[in-house]
Amino acid sequence: MIEFKNISKHYQLKGQTIRALDQINLQIPDGSIFGIIGYSGAGKSTLIRLINLLERPNDGQVIINQKDFTALDARSLRQERANIGMIFQHFNLLQSKTVAANIEMPMKLLGWSKAEREKRLAELLEFIDLKHKKDAYPDELSGGQKQRVGIARALANHPKILLCDEATSALDPQTTKSVLDLLKKINKEQGITIVMVTHEMDVIETVCDYVAVMEQGQVIETSSTLEIFSQPKHPTTKNFIQTVLQQQLPVNILQNLENQNHNSIYSLQFLGTSAQETVVQAAIKQFDISLNILFANMTEINGSVIGQMFVQLLGDPAVIEQTIAFFQQNGVKVERSGVSA
Amino acid sequence: MRDLIVQWLTEITAPYWKSSLSIDQFVTALQETFHMVFFAMLFGCIWGFIQAIILLVTRPHGILPNRVIYHGLNPIVNALRSLPFIILLIAFIPLTKLLVGTSIGTWAAIVPLTIYIGPYMGRLIETSLLEVNEGIIESAQAMGASPLQIIFKFILPEARSSLILNLTTATISLIGATAMAGAVGAGGIGDLAISYGYQRFDTSVVILTVIVLLLLVQFVQTFGEWLSRLR
């Protein structure tokens, strides 16, 4: 387990104290994929660098598997760092060395024999599916290939933790998906804890088990990804979720409505595996109302489905109330939809 | 070997070369130039790398920041860099005497040449090393590399191409500086142009010197660029 205890980091800029991190308490369970999301400047990159102490906190402790990293001397810290892999937004491969030499670098630093290095190199190249690029130089590779080399290099010493700093931010959506799939595979097959920093909610949605939302050096919300998506509390979290899951009815749909009674629009949120169509159908059968589906979308998070539907309910107000109660009994979250500006 | 080459050159140039300067003297001067450039370059490189690495690691936000060393060494380098070579040549005569035993001759010129080129090369090398992407250094630290490993396994290999180009520039500056070494009797082809060409009004010597220097510099530049592209 990775634990942040009362972490604070601040620095002076033109006589002003900038709080990069403010009283952070966070626990990252072993074997999980943990996402840290926030806008730029939120402190997320600083936070991930605290795990291998590329950045030092002014206050607080970083404890990894009961070991206080903040108390280690330089030599022991270097030894511990060798057991934590890290990949970067801009890959940070040595341009002057081949793919093979880049991947072998961490093993060389630890003084592995040539035979050991070659054996591990072959395994890694197989794993990232780049055997044919063994002797290529980084500038001959695509972004996705470079990141895969970065991943192989990070995994070379069999680390227990893999840190990903905006690892997919410089990649196109398709390549992002393949890199995320690879990370998921690493987590599943090798049980490596993955901590990733990103500003893209769909990265969190695709791979993360847990997520921490950061703003202005603070963790404003943290929980399982499913919970964050189904019950976001903080406005910033809601903004992030909005990027993946439509939370408000699109304006053009609203404008094209026949009945312009906006008070009759409700948002229905379906969580888990409750099949939404059955509930809706049952409601139409049971109650004498007109139910007009305006907009719907669904997303899958760690095997659970979250569905969002905007409906217009027209009819006797008492019946509408009964309908809403019916929905709620069936585990559907009903809200009178905020009309988007 | 040398005698054979001189003899051959003398024979084939005999119809065209009408000057009080013999081909033998010219070859000797060329050897002196090479001698000075080679040794000043060698010592200058050692000086330059040490200076550059110290300044690189001790600078603020470097890998081992140290205010005292950085702010102590930096002005010394600037001071040495501010002296024109001809002044250095004279000003460092006492040091030259101490090190070489004499203040006259090729070896005597190598001392001020080193003092001239060392700090300059240090600055050039430092620039090359600073160009190395900070992300590379960060990834090295994340792998658990020690400061020495970061310098020798990450920064230097990454800076190789830029280093070679900068060392090429330094070599050419050094060839230029050796022309002034004649002032302390070090010889070299620059000295020929002055003592035979200028002081004895022998234009052909000046022309020959210019052509040879031109070819030399072209060769060094082309070779450096070729070397920097290799990997």
What is the DSSP track for A145-169? HHHHHHHHHHHTT--SEEEEESTTT
pLDDT surpasses 70 at A142: yes
Comparing B217 with A335, which gets the higher pLDDT? B217
Hey, are the CB atoms on A81 and B142 less than 8 Å from each other? yes
Are both A188 and A295 inside the same structural domain?
A: no
User: Is residue A245 a contact partner of residue A295, using CB atoms and an 8 Å limit?
Assistant: no
Comparing A180 with A12, which gets the higher pLDDT? A180
Residue linked to tokens 């430092």: B126
Nearest to B115 by CA among B140, B145, B86, B152: B86
B contact test, residue of A46, A81, A94 with most B CBs within 10 A:
A94
pLDDT surpasses 80 at B191: yes
Are both A87 and A225 inside the same structural domain?
A: yes
pLDDT surpasses 60 at A11: yes
Among A215, A242, A269, identify where a domain stops: A242
Query: How far is Cα A270 from Cα A286, in angstroms, rounded to an integer?
Result: 19
Query: How far is Cα A84 from Cα A90, in angstroms, rounded to an integer?
Result: 18
**What's residue A183's pLDDT?**
95
Q: How remote is the C-alpha of B181 from its chain's centroid?
A: 13
Residues of B in contact with A90 (CB under 8 A): 133, 135
Tell me the pLDDT band of A341, cut-offs 50, 70 and 90: very low
**What's residue B174's pLDDT?**
93
The answer as to whether A32 is a domain residue is yes
Q: How remote is the C-alpha of A312 from its chain's centroid?
A: 34
Q: What is the mean pLDDT of chain A?
A: 89
The residue range of the domain holding A266 is: 251-336
**What's residue A277's pLDDT?**
64
Are both A238 and A303 inside the same structural domain?
A: no
- Which fold would CATH assign to domain B28-191? MetI-like fold (1.10.3720)
pLDDT surpasses 70 at A276: no
Residue linked to tokens 């040595």: A94
Q: At what angle do helices A143-155 and A99-109 cross, to 10 degrees?
A: 20
- H or E element at residue B182: none
Domain total of chain A: 2
B contact test, residue of A50, A56, A78 with most B CBs within 10 A:
A78
Q: Give chain B's contact residues with A (Cβ, < 8 Å).
A: 133, 135-136, 138-139, 141-146, 149, 153-154, 157-158, 160-161, 231
With pLDDT > 90 as the criterion, what percentage of chain B qualifies? 60
Are both A128 and A100 inside the same structural domain?
A: yes
Are both A306 and A158 inside the same structural domain?
A: no
**What's residue B111's pLDDT?**
93
Are both A221 and A259 inside the same structural domain?
A: no
Comparing A117 with A309, which gets the higher pLDDT? A117
The answer as to whether A341 is a domain residue is no
**What's residue B167's pLDDT?**
95
pLDDT digits (tens, 9 = 90+) for B32-64: 999 999 999 999 999 999 999 999 999 988 888
Q: Are strands A218-224 and A2-13 parallel, antiparallel or unpaired?
A: unpaired
Query: Cβ neighbours of residue A316 under 8 Å, at least 6 residues apart?
Result: A288, A289
Nearest to A4 by CA among A25, A19, A35, A22: A25
pLDDT digits (tens, 9 = 90+) for A97-131: 999 999 999 999 999 999 999 999 999 999 999 99
**What's residue A316's pLDDT?**
87
CATH code of the domain containing A64? 3.40.50.300
